[in-house]
Amino acid sequence: MRSRQRMFAAVMRLLLKCLRLGRRRRFKLVRQVEQLWQYGHLCLHSLLYNSFTNGDVVLDSLFEPVYWLVDHVTRWFGVVFVALVIGLTSSIVAIVYICLLPLILQTYTPAWICWHLAYGHWNLIMIVFHYYMAITTSPGHPPQAKDDLTGVSICRKCIAPKPARTHHCSICNRCVLKMDHHCPWLNNCVGHYNHRYFFSFCLFMTMGCIYCSISGWEMFRDAYAAIERMKLLEKERLQVAANQTYYQTPPPTFSFHQRAFHKSVVYLWVLCSSVALALGALTLWHAALITRGETSIERHINKKERQRLQKKGKVFRNPYSYGGWDNWKVFLGVDVPRHWLTRVLLPSPHLPHGTGLSWDLPPCVTKQRAPLLAI
């Protein structure tokens, strides 16, 4: 009897221990869930920790993985984009020399032949020169020795002083002087030392595409009509061949050389027209920025600063703008009138004004403006 009582008591003690252990595990699981909930709530609350946070900051935080992926893809595919630009441009030049130039020499008057030869080769030289310089020229970086470097802020990525108009490129992983943007078609940043080369390339490439589109419009219409006739005659030839034996099939109406010629003309006109529209819009956009004396990044900064000062009843003025005409002279490096020929209409490797570290008044500016609000 006593042995049964002892056994029953032992079983009850074991059962109580199991219940206590299960209760502890349940409490531990509940505590973990509460900790995760508090951590998630803290992360969400950190996005709205002050009055300066808005929807843009939240979206930037959510899209940070996308930005990281785009930065790394752009870095590795830059060489592919450069090869694509060189390949497409070379194909257009080859079509012009092989297909169009002999036709121009046979049908045009001597005056028009001289015009096309002079303008076409000048435009091609300007495109090749400025694209090569934009790729190979460094945009400019702050010096490694930081003793004498005057910075207006500290770069959060480099942990180093950052001069005025300098921004960090996440693709190059370096600070760039007067950074405009990172161009994948150049596989390089557009900054202080190669900004002029980039814009000149866009301008002359747009001019070249417009020139090819206008000059080849009549040939494009004839080539497109010839291709349509080829398709129609090919259908008729196949219908006739279906009712005859193989040795009675009529030969092709158009030769391989004719087909290649017409398709090359259509390819040239379509590609040049598309590039002229897309690159022309980009060129106009950058021309407007140059006229205002700001870069693509500074446009967003100036817009926010303008809105902030407007709420306080103040007027914001860009401290790096000297007026539309003087901004173009500073950007192109035109100090005297003859520079419009030697530095703008002819290939010129001259350096821009200043070092990109400080922004003193350039000598080509006609008059100094009143003191301006700094960014």
Q: At what angle do helices 110-136 and 195-215 cross, to 10 degrees?
A: 150
Q: How far apart, in whole angstroms, are the C-alpha atoms of residue 32 and residue 37? A: 9
Give start and end residues of each alpha helix (H) in 243-370: 256-292, 296-311, 324-332, 339
175 is an active site residue:
no
Q: Of residues 172, 175, 183, 189, which has the active-site annotation? A: 183
Say if 32 falls within a structural domain. no
Say if 361 falls within a structural domain. no
- pLDDT tier at 259 (50, 70, 90 boundaries)? confident
Q: Mean pLDDT, the chain, as a whole number?
A: 83
- pLDDT tier at 296 (50, 70, 90 boundaries)? very high
CA distances from 59 to 42, 54, 65, 127, 155 (A): 18, 9, 11, 39, 22
Tally of structural domains, the chain: 1
Say if 1 falls within a structural domain. no
Dump the DSSP string for 15-74: HHHHHHHHHHHHHHHHHHHHHHHHHHHHHHHHTTSSTT--HHHHHHHHTHHHHHHHHHHH
Say if 53 falls within a structural domain. no
Q: Which of 63-67, 120-124, 227-231 has the highest mean pLDDT?
A: 120-124
Q: How long is the chain?
A: 375
Say if 179 falls within a structural domain. yes
Is beta strand 153-154 parallel, antiparallel or unpaired with respect to 161-162? antiparallel
Q: Given this model, what pLDDT does residue 130 score?
A: 97
Say if 362 falls within a structural domain. no
Q: What is the largest CA-CA distance in the chain?
A: 131
Say if 267 falls within a structural domain. yes
pTM beyond cutoff 0.95: no
Say if 37 falls within a structural domain. no
Q: Given this model, what pLDDT does residue 249 score?
A: 52
Domain interval for residue 294: 62-355
